[in-house]
Amino acid sequence: MAIDPSKIKRYSHGSRVPGWDEAADLSKDPSVVPDPATTYVPDHVREAIETLMAKYPDVRSAAIPAMFIVQREHGWLSPTAMEQAACVLRLTPAYMVSVASFYDMFELTPKGKHDVYVCTNISCSLLGADGVYARMKDEMEGDPDFNVRAFECLGACDIAPMASVDGVYVGPLTEDDCAQIKADIKEGREVLPDKQLAKRKAASKHWNR
């Protein structure tokens, strides 16, 4: 979702407050683990995170998978989402944000529901990915349902230029496919069924030689 730059709050020294401008209470001590008595956590979220915590020798390891869970629940890593994850993990929200800000797949600002990642790395751009990305942005710009991003190599250079649409890899794309992708998502259909990577055979078979 596009954000109006003039509405982004900044500290006095000029750094922006990442995604926490509206709801975060900056007067609160960042080193406080949220109090389970006063923090509401939905039962299924708590259960999912606790299952994760049991898998690892150290609960911190569950921080990244737990953030995926709350991100799915809330749509983005909102302050509430972080507080819920932190509450179950017994970590501070500040720690969670410090980790989340490192990784590309965590969104600290509100985003559209459907992720469309267009690969614009070397192999894809050699075959016209920049054009596909521009077209995709034109197509979906301003629609709050979509989160279009240029992504670094998604590991599917055999179908370059490609995109990951809600985790489904499709390619090779032409610029005209962008409208089709949008329509498929809007109507809840499978995205470009003929171009899905999961259905492709090994290269020596695929090319039929």
Partner 1 sequence: MPANIDTILFKDIDEPGLNTREVYERRGGYEMLRKALKMEPSAVLDEMLASGVRGRGGAGFAMGRKMSFIPKGTMDKYLVCNADESEPGTFKDRELMQKNPHLLIEGIIIGAYCIGASKSFIFIRGEYDYVADILDAAVAEARAAGYLGENILGSDHTIDLVVHRGAGAYICGEETALLDSLEGKRGNPRLKPPFPAVQGLYQGPTLINNVETLMNVPVILNMGGAEYAKIGTETSTGTKMISISGQIKYPGNYEIELGMKTRDILFDLGGGPLEGRTFKAWFPGGSSSPVMPLTEEVLEMPYDFDSIAKAGSMLGSGAIIVFDDSTSIVDVCYKTAHFYRHESCGKCSPCREGCNWTEKMLVRIKNGDATPMDLDIIESVCNQIMGNCLCVLGDAMAMPVSSMIKHFRPEFEAYIEAKREEAGFGVAIPQTNRGAHAGPGPLLQPAQAA
Tell me which residues touch partner 1 (CB under 8 A).
55-65, 67-68, 98-99, 102-106, 117, 120-123, 125-127, 151-158, 160, 164, 167-169, 198, 201-207, 209
Residue 206 CB, nearest approach to partner 1 (Å): 6
Considering the complex, what minimum distance in angstroms separates the CB of residue 43 from partner 1?
22
Point out which residues pair with 115 in neighbouring strands. Answer: 147
Shortest distance (Å) from residue 99 CB to partner 1: 6
* C-alpha 82, offset from chain centre: 15
Six-digit token pair at 144? Answer: 């709050």
Dihedral of the alpha carbons of 54, 56, 58, 61, in degrees to the nearest 10 = -110
3-state secondary structure 29-69: CCCCCCCCCCCCCCHHHHHHHHHHHHHCCCHHHHHHHHHHH
What's the CA gap between 31 and 28, in Å, rounded?
A: 9
CA-CA distance, 100 to 190, in Å (whole number)?
30
CB of 139 to partner 1, least distance (A): 22
| Nearest distance from C-beta of residue 121 to partner 1, angstroms | 5
Nearest-approach distance from CB 15 to partner 1, in angstroms: 15
Q: What is the DSSP letter of 174?
A: -
Residue 22 or 152: which CB sits closer to partner 1? 152
Which of 147, 151, 198 is CA-nearest to residue 170? 198
Alpha helices in 39-192 (DSSP H): 43-55, 63-74, 79-89, 93-100, 122-126, 129-140, 177-186
- Of 59 and 134, which has the nearer Cβ to partner 1? 59
Question: Which C-beta is closer to partner 1: that of 158 or that of 175?
Answer: 158
Q: Please, which residue, 33 or 179, has the CB nearer to partner 1?
A: 33
* Identity of the residue, 9 or 193, whose beta carbon is nearer to partner 1 in the bound complex: 193
Nearer to partner 1, 9 or 122 (CB): 122
